[in-house]
Structure formats: C-alpha cells, structure tokens
Amino acid sequence: MSTLRDKAKKSNASKSDRPVLIYLAIGIAAAISIALRWVDEDLSANVLSEIIGAAFTLFVIDVLLVKSKAKRWLIVQEHIDYLIGRTINRVRDGVATRVFGFKPEFNHRMKEEEVILQIRKQREKFLNELEPLSAEKLIERIDLTFFNADSYHYFDEKAEDIWMLINMKYSEYLAPELVSLLIDLHTNLVDVGAHIRMYGKAERFPAEKDHYHNVALLGTARNLKEIIRIVIRLKEEGYSDAAKILGTREEI
C-alpha cells in the first residue's frame, strides 16, 4: 500500500496544466475546417494549416513546461519531504513531552542511533495509547504546568512552521490530501495556543478562575485529540523524520 510520501514522487508536476477542453476545441475547429472544403478548398487548407501549426506549438510548449516543472520537483522533492517529516516529528515530540509528560527510558550505553530509535518507538506507543481516549479522559492526562507562556510560544511556532509548509513555493505539487491534513493540523495548533491564553486569564479574573480553567482544558483536550490523530496519520503516510545523524535518517 503506497503512502502519501510515495505518491509525492509521482506528483502533479508531471501533469499538464492545459485544460483538455483546449485540445478538444482545436479538434472541433480542425473538423470544421475540413468540412469547409466543400465550400472553399483553399480557405479550408489555409485554416487547417493554421490550426495544425497552433496545435503543434501549444503541444511543444506544454511538453517543455511539464518537463521543466517535473525536473524542478525532482530536485527538491526529497528535501521537502524531509522538511515536512521533520516538522511533524517535532510536533509529535512536543505534544507527548510538553503536554502529557512523556518520559522515555533507555540504556545510556546504547549508541545515539539506537537511543533515537528506542525513544521513537516508545513515543509512538505512547501516542497510540492516547488516540482512542475521549477529550474528558485526555484532560486527566494533561500536565497542568503545560499552561504557560513557553508552551504558548512553542505551539504558535509550530503552527507557523506548518503554515510555511502549506504556503511554500512547491506546495502545489503536494497531494491535496496531505495539504488538507497540514491545514487541519495548523488550525488545531493555533487553537491550542488560544486555549493556553484562555487558561491564563484566570490570573486576571480570579473570581471566574474555574470557568476559564474548565473551558481552556476542555478546548485544549479536544484540539489535542485531533492533533494526535493527525500526526499518527501523517506518520503512517511516511511523514515523521528524526534529525539526521552522521548523514543518516531514521524513518520509524
């Protein structure tokens, strides 16, 4: 079963942007010009030659443009895939560690590559266990010290990173399904930031402390549930890269 990352290698960069209707219109025009032979043979020949010339020119330009786009995408595709995967991996780590207090266990005598692999496996299991939980159950797992300015800036930064991926020059070559997931992830990251701000309002309005805390907690839990679902899905689609070590990249 191919993933979205696999499909990226067969991106829309290799497809023509020219509408099929244009070629259909040329074909109809050519048919009409041939029919004109019964009225004026010279006029028919002139019109037909013009149409053939225009069609050939359009075809050549189209082929050259498609090849140029495909070549450019081939050069940057691997780097963009890594950039997306790296960003998603950081979100996974931030959610697990900052919000839910994930603490990996590993043997300090292991090599760095082995440690990273072990941590990623443990984090994957941790997030998979959180995914089926309801928002109410997630609230019980949230580390309340997470509601601070540092966490707000972290989620705001990650939302901005995702937004930059969505709006980068080559985003038009990404699978629509991937772009949709990234947009959804961006929205939920932004909303978590808003809920962190909401939680902080309790300090300014102590009389309504419980209200602000309850609203912020429930909203955060609902958004986190979506974020966990999305990052798990993106990992299944091949997007969750660890930082490169000694020129290698783990994709677990």
pLDDT band at 38 (very low <50, low <70, confident <90, very high): low
| 227 compared with 117, residue with greater pLDDT | 227
Q: pLDDT tens digits for 57-87? A: 766 666 666 666 667 667 778 888 899 999 9
pLDDT at 250 over 50: no
**Residue 8 corresponds to which amino acid?**
A
pLDDT band at 247 (very low <50, low <70, confident <90, very high): very low
Beta bridge partners of 245: 248
Give the SS3 label for residue 248: strand
- Count Cβ neighbours within 10 Å for each residue of 138-169 and write b for 16 or more, e otherwise: bbeebeeebbeeebbebbbebbebbbebeeee
SS (H, E, C) 92-139: HHHHHHHHCCCCCCCCCCCCHHHHHHHHHHHHHHHHHHHCCCCHHHHH
Beta bridge partners of 248: 245
| 62 compared with 153, residue with greater pLDDT | 153
pTM over 0.85: no
pLDDT band at 249 (very low <50, low <70, confident <90, very high): very low
Q: pLDDT tens digits for 99-147? A: 999 999 888 788 888 888 889 999 999 999 999 999 999 999 999 999 9
pLDDT of residue 248: 43
pLDDT of residue 74: 74
pLDDT of residue 251: 42
pLDDT band at 19 (very low <50, low <70, confident <90, very high): low
